Amino acid sequence: MEKSVVHLERRKTGEAIAGELCDDITDEHLELWRTTWLPHVDEVVARLKQQRVPIDKWPQDLHWKWDEKTAWSRGRLAFQRYSLVCDGALQGLMLLSVTKFARLQSQFGKHLAYVEFVATAPWNRPDISAEPVFRGVGQVLVRTAIEVSRSESFHGRVGLHSLPQACRFYREVCGMTDLGPDPKYEGLVYFEMTEAQAAAFCRVD
Amino acid sequence: MSVMKINIPKEWILNRASREEGLEIGAGSPRQLAQSEVSRPPAPEDIVRIEQRLSFGHFVALMRRKSGWTVQQLAQRADVDAGELLVIEKDPYHEAELSTVHGLARTFNVPPRHLMKMAGLADNRSSRLAEAAVSFAASADPVAPLSESEEVALQTYLKVVLEESDKK
Amino acid sequence: MATKRTMTLNLTEAEMDALELLSSQKDLNKTAVIRQALRLYQMVDQRLREGKKVFIEDEMTKAKAELMLL
């Protein structure tokens, strides 16, 4: 298991806080997910019900079972898992696939790193937290997917299906190409990043 | 695990972090499983739960249509969310909210604990009820008015539900 | 900490030609091709061990041929 130092920005103060990116989701990470993310999720669900928010307006990844995703993907070479810990807390999780192919015309049929699932901790989410704690989890994990893609000689190509509320992030912040809703994947919008887009994303401005 | 070091410069994230302000970042199927996980065989208890929810969804749809109500009208009468009713009728992977099941039980005049068993929210030890649920779930066109056979299927199922309730 | 292990691979000329062609066509280095092949083999093998079948379908004729792996 390899650990890399990465930084997140503490939103309140703007300071960079050093954290640890691990190239696996261990049982310790899952224990953190269970004991720190899930209670938050339960509170959010209770609040949504109390406010009578229609279920189709709820954040769609609240019920993701990371223990199941981890157990299933372990031992399967096609998948890689990443976890991000910062300030003593689990801040992000990601499951990648490295056997999928690009659809964008300019890179059609070439291998890319596909983000099966990615999530930030509930306390970082602006849709459910009045005062999100850290910024940068999404970009650090997208950058991780790019670096994995490069190490696999996929030249930084990345693909993913965005949750509806995250399309703006992938389109505007990550600069990915929007290929539109995918009817074979519950109508989620499919995004791809080319080698050039990956290079632009990784540049220190 | 991949065994690689990732090098992300600190100044890179400091320059960019604020661009994430106010934005969600989630990606992946809203369902529990990834697309590529579809081939994993479901556990026996998952299959039972899915069957229960299928019959529950059919039951709600038929009871609603029997009364001539739209989803919206049933939602108002039962004081539940219309969006969730739509999901209950169509999605056997969705676990209904307890308050919704209670609201429906009140509206349909069915014992709440039996509706909870139907919805897969409580253990169903009655094999008769479970078998009736499976037979019942095999019927129903969810859009058209109730046909004679659907009416018969619904009444038969209701009879079992109420008889099982009388036993306690 | 887990580390990568190295092995030497002896291939026939035909196998090396195939590897080089795939490497060029797929825009992958040769190691990446071998790794993809290993992942694909494992994926197919896992499906078969779960009792599933793997088919190749002809898109034009819709004819299916079962892919057998021993």
pLDDT digits (tens, 9 = 90+) for B75-134: 889 988 887 887 788 776 677 878 888 899 999 988 888 888 888 777 666 667 666 766
At B68 the three-state DSSP class reads coil
Mutate which of B4, B6, B87, B99 to disrupt the A interface (most A C-beta within 10 Å)?
B6
Note the ipTM here: 0.90
In this complex, is the C-beta atom of A139 within 8 Å of any C-beta atom belonging to chain B?
yes
Inside any domain, residue B5: no
Sorted by sequence, the CB contacts under 8 Å of residue B77 that are 6+ apart come out as B69, B107
Each domain of chain A, given as residue ranges in start order, spans 3-202
Transcribe C11-38 into DSSP letters: --HHHHHHHHHHHHHTT--HHHHHHHHH
Inside any domain, residue B55: yes
* Cβ distance of B1 and C2 shorter than 8 Å: yes
Both tokens of A113, joined, read 């790193």
* Number of independent structural domains in chain B: 1
Inside any domain, residue B16: no
At B38 the pLDDT is: 39
- The span from the CA of B6 to the CA of A23, in Å, is 9
| Chain B residues lying within 8 Å of A16, measured CB to CB | 10, 13-14
* Cβ distance of A76 and C35 shorter than 8 Å: no
Within 43-62 of C, beta carbons closer than 8 Å to B belong to 47, 50-52
Architecture of domain A3-202: 3-Layer(aba) Sandwich (3.40)
Inside any domain, residue B46: yes
Inside any domain, residue B61: yes
* Cβ distance of C50 and B3 shorter than 8 Å: no
Residue, of C35 and B114, whose pLDDT is higher: C35
At A76 the three-state DSSP class reads coil
At C70 the pLDDT is: 53
Asked if the model's pLDDT at residue A150 lies above 50, the reply is: yes
Inside any domain, residue B113: yes
pLDDT digits (tens, 9 = 90+) for A56-91: 778 878 889 999 999 989 989 999 999 999 999 999
Categorize the per-residue pLDDT at A191 as very low, low, confident or very high, splitting at 50, 70 and 90.
Answer: very high
* Cβ distance of C50 and B39 shorter than 8 Å: yes
Domain that holds residue B50: 42-167
* Cβ distance of C2 and B39 shorter than 8 Å: no
Mutate which of A143, A149, A167 to disrupt the B interface (most B C-beta within 10 Å)?
A143
